[in-house]
């Protein structure tokens, strides 16, 4: 489930790093006004809620080795709280690398970051086209 109501507008897309410590964008930034409700995209258990540097972060562990993180998201949930798909998990706050009015969503699968859009069924499949005339 998309975590915020309204149009699905991705402000900054996922950019995979070349290696574990390389530059990249390990998630997507979603247009989401400060104060808007954030909902659980899937069932899971709150694994972390706290402040990381200058922003409120909420992390949910899901089945199948998936972990989703939301920032900046202010929440009253406590670690160990079970959430169902669509449950209110917090509200968009300010802080972090995302500009005000956006929320960063990161997803890890078995510890490796993956493009969250793959889980929403919205990444178009690549189509290979012929490039040249035969020799």
How much is the pLDDT for 133? 66
Q: What is the mean pLDDT of each run of 10 residues along the chain (135 residues)?
A: 92 90 92 96 98 95 97 97 98 90 96 92 67 66
Please say whether the beta carbons of 25 and 102 come within 8 A.
no
Contacts of residue 86, Cβ cutoff 8 Å, sequence gap at least 6: 1, 39, 40
Question: Domain 10-120: which CATH class?
Answer: mainly beta
This prediction's pTM? 0.86
How much is the pLDDT for 98? 82
How much is the pLDDT for 6? 86
Q: Which residue from 71, 72, 82, 90 is spatially nearest to 47, judged by alpha carbons?
A: 82
Report the alpha-carbon distance of residue 123 to residue 95 in Å, rounded.
28
DSSP for residue 41: S
């Amino acid at each position: 489930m998309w975590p915020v109501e309204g149009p699905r507008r991705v402000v900054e897309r996922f950019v995979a790093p070349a290696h574990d410590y390389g530059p990249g964008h390990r998630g997507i930034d979603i247009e989401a006004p400060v104060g808007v409700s954030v909902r659980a995209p899937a069932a899971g258990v709150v694994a972390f809620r706290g402040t990381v540097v200058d922003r409120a972060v909420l992390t949910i562990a899901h089945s199948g080795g998936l972990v989703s993180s939301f920032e900046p998201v202010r929440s009253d949930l406590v670690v160990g709280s079970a959430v169902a798909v669509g449950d209110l998990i917090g509200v968009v706050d300010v802080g972090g690398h995302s500009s005000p009015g956006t929320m960063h969503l990161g997803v890890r699968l078995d510890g490796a970051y993956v493009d969250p859009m793959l889980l929403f069924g919205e990444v178009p499949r690549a189509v290979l086209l012929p490039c040249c005339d035969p020799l």
